[in-house]
């Protein structure tokens, strides 16, 4: 039930912070979600959506870190294989 999926905000409607809604694109499928809890999110941002509510804005820099880490350990491994 805690399933939540990242999607891209395509458009935003409503000015009232508590009823701000957005059209969210999940890999081509558009669905409405409530944006009341992500006041900082804007069109083009990715948000994590659960039962029709955006709960968090995806931090794109943080999202890259695991790939940078993997690259680092790969390079370390190559160095070790090369030996002293």
Partner 1 sequence: MKFLDEYRDAGLAEQLARELHRVTTRPWKIMEVCGGQTHAIVKYGIDELLPKEITLIHGPGCPVCVTPLEMIDKALEIAARPNVIFTSFGDMLRVPGSTTDLLSVKAKGGDVRIVYSPLDAVKLAEQNPAKEIVFFGVGFETTTPATAMAIYQAALKKVGNFSMLISHVLVPPAIEALMSSPNCRVQGFLAAGHVCTVMGFEEYFLLVKKYRVPIVVTGFEPLDILQGVLMTVQQLESGRAEVENQYARAVRREGNQPAQELIKKIFKVVPRKWRGIGEIPQSGLGLNDEYAAFDAEKKFGVAESHVEESSECLSGLVLQGQIKPHECPAFGVKCTPERPLGAPMVSGEGACAAYYRYRRQPDAVAAK
**Which residues in this chain contact partner 1 in the complex, by CB under 8 A?**
1-6, 8, 18-19, 26-27, 34, 36-39, 46, 48, 50-53, 55-56, 58-60, 62-63, 65-67, 69-70, 73-74
Least Cα distance to 52 among 26, 37, 31 occurs for 31
Give least dist CB 66 to partner 1, A.
6
Q: Both tokens of residue 73?
A: 């350990």
The residue among 23 and 37 lying less far from partner 1, judged by its C-beta, is: 37
Give the C-alpha separation, 50 to 64, whole Å.
23
- Among left, alpha and beta (phi > 0; psi -120 to 50; other), residue 34 is beta
Give least dist CB 84 to partner 1, A.
19
Give least dist CB 57 to partner 1, A.
8
């Amino acid at each position: 039930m805690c399933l939540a999926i990242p999607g891209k905000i395509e458009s935003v409607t409503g000015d009232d912070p508590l009823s701000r809604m957005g059209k969210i694109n999940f890999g081509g499928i558009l669905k409405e979600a409530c944006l009341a809890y992500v006041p900082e999110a804007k069109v083009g941002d990715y948000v994590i959506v659960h039962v029709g509510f955006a709960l968090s804005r995806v931090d794109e820099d943080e999202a890259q870190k695991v790939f940078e880490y993997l690259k680092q350990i790969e390079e370390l491994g190559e160095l070790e294989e090369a030996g002293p």
